[in-house]
Amino acid sequence: MALLKRLIDWIDVRIGARDIAAKELTGYLLPRNINTWYSMGSILLFIFAMQVVTGILLLIYYVPDADKAFKSVTFIMNEVPFGWLIRMCHAVGSNMMVLVLLFHMISVLFMNSYKSPREMNWLTGFILFTMVQGISLTGYLLPWSQLSFWATTVATNSANAIPVVGPYLVEFLRGGKLVGPPTLGRFFALHVALIPAGIAALVGAHLFLLQRTGVSTPPFGLKDTANRWQGDGYRYESHPGGIPFFPNYALEDLRSIFIYLACFLAVVYFDPYLFFTRDSFLPANPLQTPAHIKPEWYFLANYQTLKIFPSEFIGLAVQGAGMTFLALLPFIDRTTERHPLKRPLFMICAIGGIMLWIGLSVWGHYS
C-alpha cells in the first residue's frame, strides 16, 4: 500500500493526477434522480471494447480471401481451442451492441435528453448508430457463407433504386458487377479499419460533448438540482448536491455491465446460434440463391418497407426521410417541456413509431 501511495505521489507531482480525479471522478456530480438507463452508454463502451478485442483475436486465424474465408472460420470454430467462444462472443456481441444501442436511443428519446443544448450529442449518437449498422453489415459478409453472400447481394442491390447514380453505386460498393472476391476485400477493410476508427473517433466526440455540456437531468424522480442552461451563453450544466460519479455511479455502471454480461453469456453458452440461420453454415455459392433469404433482425423493418412499396425508389426515399427526421429531431422538436407524460402528441408519435418498427420487423420475418 505504501508503495502504491508513493507511486501515485510520484505521478501526482508531475501531472496533478489527484486534481483530475477530484474534478472528473469524485467531484464529478450527477443528478440526484439519475436512473439505470444512464448506464446504457457505459454498457455500449464495454461492448465496443469487447468487439475490438475479440475482432483482433479473430484476425489471427481469419483469412480474407474468398477461397479461404469460410474454411478459416470453420477452422476457428472447430479446430482452434476456444475459437468457438471468441467467434460467438464477436457474433453475439454485434447483435447485442445494436440491441443496447436501441435501448440507449429509446431512453434518451423518452427522457427527452436530446433537446437543447444537447443537439450535437444526439446527432453524433445517431451517426454512431448508422456506423454500427454499417460495421454489422460489412462484418456479415466476412464468413463467406451462403447467408453472408446473398444477404450482401440483396443489401448492396437496394442502392440500385437511387436515380442516375444507383447502378454505378452498386458496382462501386461491390467492386464489380456482382458480389465477389473484390467485395470481400472492400468490406474487410471497412470492417476492421475504417469503420472502427470512425466509431472510436465519434465515441470520443460524443463523450467530449457530454463532458462539456454536462449530464442531462431525468424529467422525473427527485427534485431537480441542476444549474440549467438558459441559451444566453455557454454554461456547464452542473448538479450541486448530486451523486459523485466515482465511486457511487461507477458502481451502478459496473452492476449494469454485469447484468448485461449475464444476458450476453446466457446467449453465448445456451443459445449461441440464436442469431444464425441454416444458411450461415453453408459456404457461399454464387450460382445458387437459398430460399427465403432474410437480413439480420435489425434490418428486417427496412427489408419489409422495401417490399411493401411498389417502387423500390419510394421505399428507399421513405426510409431516408424517416432517418433524416430522426437525425434532426432535436432541431425539429424545439419545445422545452421534457416530461413525457406532459407531451401526449410526442408519446403517441414515439410509441407509434416503435410499434411500427416492431410490426414491420415481425412482418418481414414471417413474410
Partner 1 sequence: MESTGRRTFLGVCLGGLAAAVAAATTWPLYRYLAPRAVKTTAAKVEIPAKDVPEGEAKFFDFNGASAVLVRKRGGDLIALSAVCTHLGCIVQWEKDQQDFLCPCHGGHYTPEGAVTSGPPPKPLTKLPFTVANGIITIG
- Binding window for partner 1 (CB under 8 A); candidates: 79-87, 97-105, 127-135, 310-318: 79-87
Q: Please tell me whether residue 222 binds partner 1 under the rule CB under 8 A.
A: no
Which position among 63, 77, 80, 169 is part of the footprint of partner 1 (CB under 8 A)? 80
CA distance 229 to 241: 17
190 contacts 138 by C-beta, under 8 angstroms: yes
- Binding window for partner 1 (CB under 8 A); candidates: 82-90, 102-110, 289-297, 337-345: 82-90
Amino acid at 132: V
Q: Inter-axis angle of helices 181-189 and 146-157, to 10 degrees?
A: 80
Phi-psi category of 223—alpha, beta or left, where left has phi over 0 and alpha has psi -120 to 50? beta
**Which residues of the chain form beta strands (DSSP E)?**
29-30, 243-244
Q: Please tell me whether residue 169 binds partner 1 under the rule CB under 8 A.
A: no
Whichever of 82 and 172 has its CB closer to partner 1, that residue is 82
Q: How far is the CB of 79 from partner 1 (least distance, A)?
A: 8
Q: What is the CA radius of gyration of the chain?
A: 23
CA distance 158 to 164: 14
147 contacts 280 by C-beta, under 8 angstroms: yes
Q: Please tell me whether residue 202 binds partner 1 under the rule CB under 8 A.
A: no
Site string for partner 1, 31-70 (x = CB under 8 A): --------------------------x--x----------
Q: How far is the CB of 318 from partner 1 (least distance, A)?
A: 45
Q: Please tell me whether residue 268 binds partner 1 under the rule CB under 8 A.
A: no
Whichever of 120 and 250 has its CB closer to partner 1, that residue is 250
- Residue 29 bridge partners (DSSP): 244
Whichever of 269 and 325 has its CB closer to partner 1, that residue is 269
145 contacts 280 by C-beta, under 8 angstroms: yes
Which position among 55, 64, 83, 364 is part of the footprint of partner 1 (CB under 8 A)? 83
Which position among 81, 240, 241, 344 is part of the footprint of partner 1 (CB under 8 A)? 81
CA distance 301 to 70: 28
Give residues in contact with partner 1 (CB under 8 A): 57, 60, 80-83, 85-86
